[in-house]
Amino acid sequence: MDDDFHYSVYQLFSNAYSTLSRLGKERNLQPIRSCCSGCGFSSWIAIIKYSANLKNSAEIAEFFFVDTTPFVDKYFLEPKDHKYDWRGVLPRERYLSKLLKDLEIALKGSSANWKIVVGHHTIRSIGHHGDTQELINQLLPILEANDVDMYINGHDHCLEHIISTSSQIQFLTSGGGSKAWRGDINKNRKDGTKFYYDGQGFMSVELEQTNAKVVYYDIYGNVLHVVNLSKALRSVYAI
């Protein structure tokens, strides 16, 4: 299985727990077939529900972690020298169908103010790997139909903010941990691109009931880009 994906999932869960634990007391991890690909379950989704520390308060946010690796055709058709452990994933079509169905049910049942989906691979990117067409075709329609606010990913080694031209989704890439400064940018695909940084850095997300703030930093902690979102006004502005 893709080591980058396993590390990404571990890192995202660790960061999510360390960040969310400071925001309130009611933290509930609800796994749906909660296991990485290769562990023998039929699909991999994990959900983190998050509520404010207020009596009868609505959930502020719900995070949906999705296994995106089995969507990518080239891992099956052109593996080259890479070796993947597909136990629990094959037959692939059945695995993906179950994963998408589970995700759709979970999204439809969510009452959270903010719905945030996290996966390793990009949906939209102007970086080295670019768009992942398989996710555009299969995953994106479900996100759009269920009012997902953000899709957070790694994979491309850059920092990036792209807004959807057909929905409210913000595509947020935080993959600037290594292999930086490639200068590998698709200059012909800048539609919706609000920010791109080819160097190393990281991203933070701050959530309130009706407001969200995403900040991109370089490796020294300098602010590079700020995204402010408002559920009430459905507005986005960046500095």
> Catalytic residue positions?
129
Q: What count of other Cβ atoms lies within 10 Å of the Cβ of residue 20?
A: 18
**How many Å apart are CA 194 and CA 214, to the nearest integer?**
13
| CB-based burial, 75-92: b 16+ in 10 Å, e otherwise | beeeeeeeeeebebbeee
Pair 152, 172: CB distance under 8 Å: yes
Token pair for residue 191? 């539609």
Are 157 and 176 within 8 A, CB to CB?
A: yes
Lookup: tokens for 231: 């559920």
Q: List beta partners, residue 211.
A: 230
Give the type of residue at 73.
Answer: D
Q: Helix (H, G, I), strand (E, B), or coil: what is residue 85?
A: coil
Tell me which residue of 134, 18, 144 sits closest to 75, measured CA to CA: 134
Helix (H) or strand (E) holding 211: strand 211-218
